[in-house]
A and B are shown apart, each in its own frame.
Chain A
């Protein structure tokens, strides 16, 4: 029982962070139809941006978070403006190739400036042990779940209710109509990338705090794919369900069976889900008519 509970908490913490990373991916796909293979690298860059502000420049925690978020927004907007916008109208495969290239560039830039060794960063979330139903659990995992949960709920409400969120959904739905409503599609695209970079930054910082500031953060981002494909490429709630499912699954399998198997299991389950629901659990069924 105690093993089960701690595995559950660890799984939920990982899953919530995955959901955040996946959220950025879905925002970009929904608004701009771009499949962003560099999402994992956005987490990596986010974590190192925060490391730079917090450790190298010794900014106070809150200032460092705000500064890193501002830089992440800037990065998102610049990537959209100078890399993706010239590709509007090109076929999907070309755009995917460019995002794969972008992922290599971002990863290499991080290595260029910070090397490949693990960076020391003081823990932000307290690592004290707390008792939960008689089982001692590290507090930082619980806090990570709470923070990720708040951000996810916040983004969901923003997307559903606010004027800008509705404008983003309108652009995803019907671009010419959105234009004739006076919505600037370019602005919406930039907003999607900025929000995606922000959610990736939060995910990256949380992940770095739970594990370490190193290159593995990008590898963690790779699991975003099973999450979004399972939940549905264009579904915000799908990222939460998919993220938590994959997080828990990995945690249970590595706890009860084998850590190696835990790396593969998301893809095995993904294959199973796709056989039953080819558009993911919440994804929209698209039927292309010729």
Chain B
């Protein structure tokens, strides 16, 4: 468990727990003739760990890309609820969505491999820094003040994720498991209102998976950050999720608590295949 006090709130959402934070309504995403998502809709509640599961190619990552604005679905709507009201995300540029507090990690690590761990994490603070290019060139003055201020939060994230020994190493030189942690850290540095994690435990052994699950739970319990999690390891998903949505062939086939989903016949069929009669 956490042993020291943290000064910065990692969660920037002020929505009350139990209230909806994200409403996905009937989105459809097509690439030419290929339908990646069709009529997918569910609600994500503040304070939940909401898992999205499904076989390979079910559209899980596409869904996350729609939420973070890398893809723009042709149909439906995605509303993010913040203190300043609801924001429609489907037509918004990704960097604007990030400014609303949606942070994410990627399935295949998308870190800035030439930059150090610290620089990667400081980039998570980018949206919170206000000084312009000229101030940045002058360095002394507002730029320096802001960097020092933001470094405080970054150091807490480093502490939280035990990244101390790697601070100044270029990310490309780090082990896979550590890179995954850096990516989680970079998303946390954004002070997310909503955290999207795309297979944070992929390719790990059970011990590393346990560590990552612990980190996610820490973040969740400590800061109350709402998490949308894509994960293949069912034991982990069923263990840590408050709610689970199941996709298959781009359609939502189930949405409920882990126990409800576990016993859903369509889900069992999607994973194990239908029995021949």
Contacts and interface: CB of A to CB of B under 8 A. Distances in A.
B116 to A, nearest CB: 10
B122 A181 contact: no
Interface stretch (A5-13, A166-174, A211-219, A237-245): A166-174
Contact of A166 (B102, B122, B190): B122
A282 B195 CA distance: 38
Contacts of B136: 158, 162-165
A170 B143 contact: no
Interface of B: 68-70, 93-99, 102-104, 106, 110-115, 119, 122-124, 126-127, 129, 131, 133, 136-137, 139, 143, 146-147, 186, 190
Contact of A161 (B97, B106, B139): B139
A111 interface: no
26 contacts: A162-B137, A163-B136, A163-B143, A164-B133, A166-B122, A169-B112, A169-B115, A170-B123, A174-B112, A176-B94, A177-B111, A178-B112, A179-B69, A180-B68, A180-B70, A180-B94, A180-B103, A181-B124, A181-B186, A181-B190, A182-B95, A182-B96, A182-B99, A183-B126, A184-B93, A184-B95
A183 B123 contact: yes
Contacts of B139: 157, 161-162
B126 A167 contact: yes
For the complex of A and B, list the 9 residue pairs with the smallest distance between their C-beta atoms, beginning with the closest: A182-B98, A182-B127, A179-B94, A177-B110, A173-B112, A162-B136, A164-B136, A170-B112, A184-B95
Could you tell me the dominant secondary structure of chain B's interface residues? helix
Given A163-B122, A163-B136, A182 B115 contact: no
B114 A173 contact: yes
B259 to A, nearest CB: 33
Interface of A: 154, 157-158, 161-167, 169-170, 173-174, 176-185, 191
B114 A169 contact: yes
Contact of A163 (B98, B115, B129, B190): B129
A178 B126 CA distance: 10
B123 A181 contact: yes
Contact of B110 (A166, A167, A174): A174
Contacts of B122: 163, 166
A178 B69 CA distance: 12
Contacts of B98: 179-182
Given A180-B98, A184-B95, A163 B131 contact: yes
B143 A162 contact: yes
A169 B111 CA distance: 12
Contacts of B115: 166, 169-170, 173
A170 B133 CA distance: 16
